Amino acid sequence: MKLLGAQGITDFVICTGYKSEFIKNYFYNYGASNLDFTTKLGDQSSTVFHGSHDEFDWTVTVAETGLNTMTGGRIKKVEKYLGGEPFLATYGDGLADIDLNALLAFHKSHGKTASMTTTQASSRFGVVDMDSTGSVLKFREKPKVNDWINIGYFIFQPEIFNYIDHDSVLEEEPLRALAGENQIGAYQHTGFWQPMDTFRESQMLNEIWDSGAAPWKKW
């Protein structure tokens, strides 16, 4: 969210499910969590916050979209908060140093219903190069693969809601239908991207953050 905010996106809708109450409490009490304050106990209206924070002009809607709702269904459930406008949608478990202005310019250039950000991911394993006799020539440590994968930074026109319902898995029938109609543009991201799907990846990303050289830190 701070990456998006640093690039001019300050109106957010968060689709919650698991641990929704923690996310709601975090944003509802954001000022108290990030600033010094003075309050008269028993009278919350007396609370005065001291100073400011970088997110002071953000608008955040936290929406309960269900514990077991699929990705498309979550977007469908927050349609009422999106104002009938084009919108950016992203997962909550991938970090990238993505240039959102370039992504938006790409989306406007092709006029399709959707733009999907793609990248060439690194292999999870090291690769062994061999010759025709089976002799090892060299080792390559987790090289980039040739295929392009979806990394979950989308821009959608409001027409996306013609393709999804409350039970949709976004990556299945909705995107397949759009692809069949030639309505998805693929924006190619060549910079940093890393998902946080495992505890090991969580440790790795936190180590990068602690090093002070996180590529996604654009604020």
On whether the CB atoms of residues 145 and 122 are closer than 8 A, the answer is yes
pLDDT tens per residue across span 180-198: 999 999 999 999 999 998 9
Continuous segment of H or E residues that includes residue 75? helix 71-77
Mean pLDDT for 132-147 is 76
Percent of the chain with pLDDT over 70: 98
Task: Kindly indicate the confidence band of residue 2, based on its pLDDT and cuts at 50, 70 and 90.
Answer: very high
On the question of pLDDT at 139 being above 80, the answer is: no
Domain ranges across the chain: 2-210
On the question of pLDDT at 123 being above 80, the answer is: no
What pLDDT is attached to residue 143? 63
What pLDDT is attached to residue 85? 95
What pLDDT is attached to residue 133? 84
What pLDDT is attached to residue 103? 97
pLDDT tens per residue across span 12-55: 999 999 999 999 999 999 988 899 999 999 887 889 999 988 89
Largest distance between two CA atoms of the chain = 80
What pLDDT is attached to residue 104? 96
The residue among 143 and 150 whose pLDDT is bigger is: 150
On whether the CB atoms of residues 168 and 174 are closer than 8 A, the answer is yes
C-alpha distances (whole Å) from 166 to each of 66, 68, 136 are 10, 11, 52
What pLDDT is attached to residue 53? 86
Question: 48-82 burial string, b = 16+ CB within 10 Å, else e?
Answer: eeeeeeebeebebebbbbbeebbbbbbbbbbeeeb
Task: Kindly indicate the confidence band of residue 170, based on its pLDDT and cuts at 50, 70 and 90.
Answer: very high
CATH topology of domain 2-210: Spore Coat Polysaccharide Biosynthesis Protein SpsA; Chain A (3.90.550)
Percent helix, percent strand, percent coil in the chain, to nearest 5: 30, 30, 40
CA atoms lying within 13 Å on the CB side of residue 135: 3
On the question of pLDDT at 1 being above 90, the answer is: yes
pLDDT tens per residue across span 79-103: 999 999 999 999 988 999 999 999 9
What pLDDT is attached to residue 56? 87
What pLDDT is attached to residue 24? 96
On the question of pLDDT at 124 being above 80, the answer is: no
Task: Kindly indicate the confidence band of residue 67, based on its pLDDT and cuts at 50, 70 and 90.
Answer: very high
